[in-house]
Amino acid sequence: MKRVWALLPAVFLYLSEGVGELFSVPEKKNYIYGNVEHPVKIYVKMHHNSPFLACMDKELSQTEIIDPISLWMGPNGKHLKENSHINLTSEGKLMITSFQASMSGSYICTLTYKIISEETQKEQEIYNIYTFMAFGYQEPDFAYQMTVRFTTDSCNGKKNSQFFKLLIRILDEIIIDLTCHIEEPSYKCHFLEIPKHGLKEELFIAFQVKPFSPERKAACSKLSVDCEEITNSNVHQARNRIEEFFLKQTNILKHEFNYIPNIHYVEHSFKVIRIDSCQPGFGKNDILHSDCASCCVVCDPRTYSPNTDVTCQACLTVHIYGAKTCP
């Protein structure tokens, strides 16, 4: 008996290789089921594939169905047929491939099947209609607004301006290999009255950390469908590097200087806020798209977004998804 069991793995491998998929374990697919009572919303990442949309509800999928026929209709009101973006299985399931903004909208499936009476063998034809609302989405583009303070011995003179320019140049060099850069740098000098320390003069410095220019991002998009993840990962790394740079300033002051420089970092003054933006034609709406509240979702008809704002604006003359202009 032991010899038989020992041979089984080899026999299985041989059969599997010899007859292809006949003996392979079926892959578990990601199905989204419909609901006869209300449309089902799905969010598909741009240039990716949708999950399989099943032309039935969850309850019906657990029962035997006699003579099922599925008929799908797309957002343009026409019946769907197999093409480069439409994958229809023999079981009537639909996958939308390489999703584009223009593919957003309602996908309606009519399921026809029969119920046969066990007593009379009489056939009754049943019609169920399932509606799926598909929306293309992108991850928001990240940027970071940063502020930091430095003590100075005087708000007058050129040294503050020289220090500021040097600081921004250093920060740019820290993140240049991540194809990120500093934007909108500014500073102001203020007088502060601090309890038990009297008056102090400090530089309030602000700047933004952003990924590379839109032109280079467009080139990146042609190379990778996950360009958003790459750019967001880079700018997040840039944020961490800059934070580490300022955190080290306190340690340097304490352990590497015999005296305190006239201009030096104010401990715990570094602050950072993430700023999200969406590409034109996309926006955020945590009410309409609560299941994808952090996503940049394609603008609905009657709305548009001409810039990188996170809000789709109203425009009654727009009749498409993902509009960038208001005619």
Over residues 130-142, the pLDDT tens digits come to 999 999 999 999 9
Determine the average pLDDT of the residues in 93-103: 95
Give the separation between CA 241 and CA 182, rounded to whole angstroms: 13
Say which DSSP state 79 is in.
B
24-51 mean pLDDT? 81
Q: Distance between CA atoms of 31 and 55, rounded to whole angstroms?
A: 10
pLDDT at residue 293, rounded to an integer: 92
Residue 20 within a domain:
no
pLDDT at position 14 is 25
CA 2/CA 212 separation, integer angstroms = 64
More confident residue, 198 or 37: 37
Q: For 165, how many CA atoms within 13 A lie in the half-sphere containing its CB?
A: 5
Helices (H), 179-267: 214-223, 227-255
Tell whether 315 is covered by a domain.
yes
**Residue 232 sits in the same domain as residue 301:** no
pLDDT value for 7: 31
| Interatomic CA distance for residues 44 and 135, integer angstroms | 6
Confidence of residue 224 (pLDDT cuts 50, 70, 90): low
Q: What's the CATH code of the domain at 78?
A: 2.60.40.10
Could you give phi then psi for residue 307, rounded to 5 degrees?
-140, -160
Q: Are residues 154 and 48 in the same domain?
A: no
* pTM for the whole structure: 0.76
| Residues 68-97 as b or e (16 or more Cβ within 10 Å = b) | bebebbbbeeeebeeeebbebeeebbbbbe
Residue 40 falls inside a structural domain: yes
Whether residue 312 is predicted with pLDDT greater than 90 in this model: the reply is yes
Task: Give me the domain span that covers residue 251.
Answer: 141-268
Length of the chain counted residue by residue: 327
Distances (CA, A) of 77 to 33, 95, 281, 315: 21, 17, 23, 23
Q: Is residue 2 part of a domain?
A: no
78 in the same domain as 197: no
Over range 149-154, report the average pLDDT.
Answer: 92
Q: How many domains does the chain have?
A: 3
- Model confidence band, residue 18 (pLDDT cutoffs 50, 70, 90): very low
C-beta separation of 80 from 88 below 8 A:
yes
Mean pLDDT of 308-314: 92
Q: Between 244 and 225, whose confidence is greater? A: 244
* Residue predicted with more confidence, 29 or 165: 165
Strand partners, 180: 211
Percent of all residues in the chain with a pLDDT value above 90, rounded to a whole number: 60
The domain boundary residue, chosen from 268, 294, 318: 268
Instruction: Record the tokens describing residue 36, joined without a space.
Output: 């006869």
Q: Could you tell me if residue 18 is inside a domain?
A: no
Is the same domain home to 318 and 253?
no
Which two structure tokens, joined as six digits, stand for 251? 């340690």
Q: Are residues 145 and 260 in the same domain?
A: yes
Helix (H, G, I), strand (E, B) or coil at 202: strand
Mean pLDDT rounded to a whole number for the chain: 84
Residue 10 domain-assigned (yes or no): no
Shared domain check, 133 and 40 = yes
- 304: confidence class by pLDDT, cuts 50, 70, 90: very high
Maximum Cα–Cα distance across the chain: 101
Query: Does the structure show a pLDDT above 70 at 11?
Result: no
Query: In terms of domains, do 75 and 151 share one?
Result: no
As a whole number of Å, the end-to-end CA separation of the chain is 79
Q: Given this model, what pLDDT does residue 257 score?
A: 57
Per-residue pLDDT tens digits for 52-91 = 999 999 999 888 889 999 999 999 999 999 888 999 998 8
Residue 218 has pLDDT above 70, yes or no: no
Indicate the burial class of 6 (C-beta count within 10 angstroms; 0-12, 13-18, 19 or more). Answer: exposed
Higher pLDDT, 259 or 195: 195
For residue range 250-294, list pLDDT tens digits in order. Answer: 777 665 655 566 888 998 999 999 999 999 999 999 999 999 999
